């Protein structure tokens, strides 16, 4: 979502920014959580990453200066070479970028009274089962589609109650327009953007369910014509985080994936770039 705030990095600090280190303790799903036909423990999934028996889907777009941006954000990303092999014996850059650009995470503090900054989001919330709501059919008929409670209830009728601790991802198909900024923004003659998102009613139900985050493959979890970011004003103060401009959502099943979201640990950040991985059991 749009907010005029920036992040300045030196490339020397980037070596460990997007990696999760150490032992990860994964929680078992609750009895009401969606279950795959063949139960595979998360620990087994992780063991299978190194030998290729577990699929890992990168849901992150590479950062450069040509990505779709929020209207009005003319300066989004800049990179500068600060050392070359010929002159210094090594290659290094510094770069500048907006906090809310490319695949990024919105922290609760982005919309007060949300409190947690990006570096304060509980680390256990960054490891979560993924719930995928596929609304591509609805969006094909209405680009301003908003996820409704009835659609969530339809999902639960098939897969079971949305488990507490999940990240709920809205698969709209909008990523097929990336990185064409004009098509991705889908702006009309009056300057109003048209793309799908969540409704306030659905967001409130997901808060009741205990979701820790929402995600979408568009510029914002609020639909394009929104004037006051009403969903942001409901979810962020409730402590949820948001993942926007996600890639490769078409590769995830509606249930059965486990999400790892690793944002840059930016002190006092309202948001920032995030590396998102979905871990799937072998077919």
For 107-130, what is each residue's pLDDT tens digit?
999 999 999 999 999 999 999 999
Token readout for 15 is 């070596």
Token readout for 9 is 């990095």
Q: What are residue 122's DSSP bridge partners?
A: none
d(CA 133, CA 141): 16
26 pLDDT above the threshold of 50: no
How many other CB atoms sit within 10 Å of the CB of residue 65?
13
Would you say 248 and 55 are in contact if contact means Cβ atoms under 8 Å apart?
Answer: no
**Mean pLDDT of all residues belonging to the chain:** 87
268 pLDDT above the threshold of 60: yes
Find the helix packing angle between 200-209 and 149-159, rounded to 10°. 40
37 pLDDT above the threshold of 70: no
161-219 pLDDT, tens digit per residue, is 999 999 999 999 999 999 999 999 999 999 999 999 999 999 999 999 999 999 999 99
Q: For residues 74 and 245, which has the higher predicted lDDT (pLDDT)? A: 245
Mean pLDDT of 76-82: 96
How many other CB atoms sit within 10 Å of the CB of residue 176?
12
156 pLDDT above the threshold of 70: yes
Lowest mean pLDDT among 39-43, 131-135, 236-240, 276-280: 39-43
232-246 pLDDT, tens digit per residue, is 999 999 999 999 999
Catalytic residue among 100, 104, 110, 232: 110
Alpha helices in 210-281 (DSSP H): 230-235
In this prediction, residue 51 carries a pLDDT of 77
Q: What percent of the chain has pLDDT over 70?
A: 84
**pLDDT grade for 252, boundaries at 50, 70 and 90:** very high
In three-state secondary structure terms, 137 is helix
19 pLDDT above the threshold of 90: no
In this prediction, residue 153 carries a pLDDT of 97
Q: What does CATH list as the number for 27-74+100-280?
A: 3.50.30.50
In this prediction, residue 242 carries a pLDDT of 98
Alpha helices in 7-50 (DSSP H): 42-47
In this prediction, residue 283 carries a pLDDT of 63
Would you say 160 and 126 are in contact if contact means Cβ atoms under 8 Å apart?
Answer: no
**pLDDT grade for 9, boundaries at 50, 70 and 90:** very low
**Count of alpha carbons within 13 angstroms of residue 26, beta-carbon side:** 19
Alpha helices in the chain (DSSP H): 42-47, 85-88, 136-141, 149-159, 181-185, 200-209, 230-235
Would you say 245 and 218 are in contact if contact means Cβ atoms under 8 Å apart?
Answer: yes
Mean pLDDT of 148-159: 98
34 pLDDT above the threshold of 50: no
Mean pLDDT of 51-62: 90
45 pLDDT above the threshold of 80: no
In this prediction, residue 43 carries a pLDDT of 65
The reply to whether 110 belongs to the active site is yes
14 pLDDT above the threshold of 50: no
d(CA 75, CA 66): 11
48 pLDDT above the threshold of 60: yes
């Amino acid at each position: 979502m749009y907010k005029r705030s920036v992040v300045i990095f030196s490339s020397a600090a980037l070596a460990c920014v997007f990696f999760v280190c150490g032992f990860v303790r994964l929680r078992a799903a609750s009895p009401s959580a969606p279950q795959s036909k063949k139960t595979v423990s998360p620990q087994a999934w992780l063991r299978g990453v190194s030998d290729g028996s577990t699929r890992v889907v990168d849901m992150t777009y590479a950062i450069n200066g040509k990505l779709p941006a929020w209207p009005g954000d003319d300066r989004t990303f800049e990179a500068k070479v600060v050392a070359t092999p010929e002159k210094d014996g090594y290659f290094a850059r510094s770069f500048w970028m907006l906090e809310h650009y490319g695949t990024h995470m919105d922290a609760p503090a982005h919309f007060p009274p949300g409190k947690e900054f990006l570096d304060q989001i509980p680390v256990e919330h960054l490891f979560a089962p993924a719930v995928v709501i596929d609304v591509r059919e609805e969006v094909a008929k209405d680009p301003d589609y908003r996820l409704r409670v009835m659609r969530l209830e339809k999902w639960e009728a098939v897969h079971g109650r949305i488990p507490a601790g999940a990240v709920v991802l809205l698969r709209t198909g909008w990523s097929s327009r990336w990185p064409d900024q004009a098509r991705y923004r889908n702006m009309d003659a009056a300057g109003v953007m048209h793309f799908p998102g969540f409704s306030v009613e659905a967001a409130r139900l997901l808060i009741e369910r205990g979701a820790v985050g929402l995600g979408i493959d568009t510029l914002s979890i609020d639909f394009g014509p929104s004037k006051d970011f009403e969903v942001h004003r409901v979810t962020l103060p409730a402590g949820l985080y948001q993942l926007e401009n996600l890639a490769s959502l078409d590769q995830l099943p509606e249930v059965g994936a486990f999400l790892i979201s690793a944002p840059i640990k930016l002190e006092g950040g309202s948001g920032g770039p995030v590396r998102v991985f979905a871990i799937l059991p072998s077919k």
